[in-house]
Amino acid sequence: MEEKFFVNKINSYENLISIQNQSDKYNLKGLKFFQNNDFENAIVCFFQALNFDKNYSHAYSNIGNVLVQKGEFEEAINMYNNAINLDKNNGLYHFNLGVAFTQLNNGVCAIKSYKKCLELDPQNTKALKFLGNCYTNIKDFDKALKCFRKWEKIDPLNPEPSFLQGQIHIRLGRFNLGWKLYEYGLKDNIRKPIEGYYNDKKELWDGKPFDGNLLVYGEQGLGDQINFGTLITELLEVQQNICIKVDSRLIDLFKCSFPSIKVISEDDKISLNEYDKYISLGSLNKYFRNHTNKFLNSKFERYKVYGHKHKEIKQLFSQINGFKLGISWHSFSDKTGSNRCLSTRDLAKLISVNNINFFNIQYGNVYKQVKEAQLISGKEILRVPFIDLTNDISSVANIINNCDLIISVDNSTAHLAASLGKAVWLLLPYDADFRWMEGLTTSLWYKNVTLIRQSKEGDWSNEINLIYNALNASNINVQP
């Protein structure tokens, strides 16, 4: 009798091993599909794993991961919760749950999940990063800094936690410290300076005048180069011989605005004998914007532009009577673009205001959005027919110069309009870019910009109503 019981136990154990092996087999197969972005087959395999073992927690978590990639965040949360119910002490499951909540802009639940992950795995630097970002999003900057400092101690060779701390300090007006920490963004290509910077063997410029030529590398996106380019006026007071590499679309703008410097495209080669020292454009801030007074006493006035189509644009605008308003409502930024954008309904309400000519200055493929907004509002958004709003920046600048007012979300068009000296009403999301700081209704970068800050995360209704009412006023003023 005892021998038979022993054999049965062995058979049960062997069956369990077989079931676990089958679950592992299908889980690994699903992970391979997942790595190749074959999400449908990946999910099939993970469910096959659950067919063999309904308590196989990894499969639930991996299904959640696939659903996150597909943008099905609510379903992903259900799967992560299934995994957690089976294994409450797996920190990775709590982290993944936090990611799904983050995607749904549910900061409270995301923070709770990341904190639980860190309780189980205090060395999880990704959880510290994401938790710090969550605290930044809700403007609890002290807790955000605490997370980034912990991350920094665990991973001292990683420049990102210092870089993120720098952005917070700049946002809070601690410019001297902030711009110094911002320099960490040049490590690991976080700030993405134009090609050539990291291979440059010349001496890095220290902010002091010297007898020779300085090469300035543009960095990041179009808006960053326009924004940081406003420091060149002060740079010229320190160093006269300058060459700058910028996005090819900005060549004319920089040449017209700074005729004494050499302006070349990001794709152009420059020989070593043409310059003696170099610096990245954003790094000029640590010398020329390290105190509030440096902003207030800026010598920059506005960019100048001519463009080969400026006469045609001016003539077209001269034929249109009434108030002319340029509008841009979308950002294509991978990281934060979705939070900055207006919906087509928000756009439709703005353009429905009578007695105003709305001109499209929005770059990118937004044809569908324009048609939807026009259908909802019954009002047309005018467009200059012969202008490429994405690539012909000089002509976009000319359109802006012929408008009475610009309304824009935070994108490169906003920086262009602001730096041209135009009156700009700038719509900022609740968690705005660090450059716009906190609590200000005017910009330190551009005196002509009115900052309209989102009062409730993800909801523009109050701000759209504010602008709509201001535009409907009998006498339009540039201050909303």
Provide the pLDDT for residue 418.
Answer: 98
Asked if pLDDT for residue 115 goes beyond 80, the answer is: yes
Across 235-249, 288-302, 322-336, least confident range? 322-336
Residues 119-141 have a mean pLDDT of 97
What are the distances in angstroms from CA 283 to CA 183, 191, 287?
A: 7, 10, 8
Q: Over the stretch 437-465, which tens digit does the pLDDT of each residue have?
A: 999 999 999 999 999 999 998 899 999 99
Asked if pLDDT for residue 292 goes beyond 60, the answer is: yes
98, 126 contact by CB (below 8 A): no
**Helices 160-171 and 141-154, axial angle in degrees (round to 10):** 160
Across 9-18, 203-212, 365-374, least confident range? 9-18
pTM above 0.85, yes or no: yes
What are the distances in angstroms from CA 227 to CA 287, 290, 411, 471?
A: 15, 15, 11, 28
CA-based end-to-end distance of the chain:
90
**Helices 344-351 and 367-377, axial angle in degrees (round to 10):** 50
Asked if pLDDT for residue 9 goes beyond 50, the answer is: no
What are the distances in angstroms from CA 324 to CA 222, 308, 360, 407, 471?
A: 25, 22, 11, 11, 12
Q: Over the stretch 73-107, which tens digit does the pLDDT of each residue have?
A: 999 999 999 999 999 999 999 999 999 999 998 99
Provide the pLDDT for residue 338.
Answer: 80
Q: Over the stretch 17-45, which tens digit does the pLDDT of each residue have?
A: 344 588 899 999 999 999 999 999 999 99
Tokens 């009156």 identify what position?
Answer: 423
Provide the pLDDT for residue 377.
Answer: 93
What are the distances in angstroms from CA 178 to CA 135, 271, 338?
A: 18, 34, 26
- CA count, 13 A, side-chain hemisphere, 358: 24
Residues 166-174 have a mean pLDDT of 97
pLDDT band at residue 419, thresholds of 50, 70 and 90? very high
Residues 146-161 have a mean pLDDT of 97
Provide the pLDDT for residue 337.
Answer: 63
What's 425's DSSP letter? E
Residues 217-238 have a mean pLDDT of 97
The dihedrals phi and psi of 144, each to the nearest 5 degrees, come to: -65, -45
- Beta-carbon neighbour count of residue 190 at 10 Å? 14
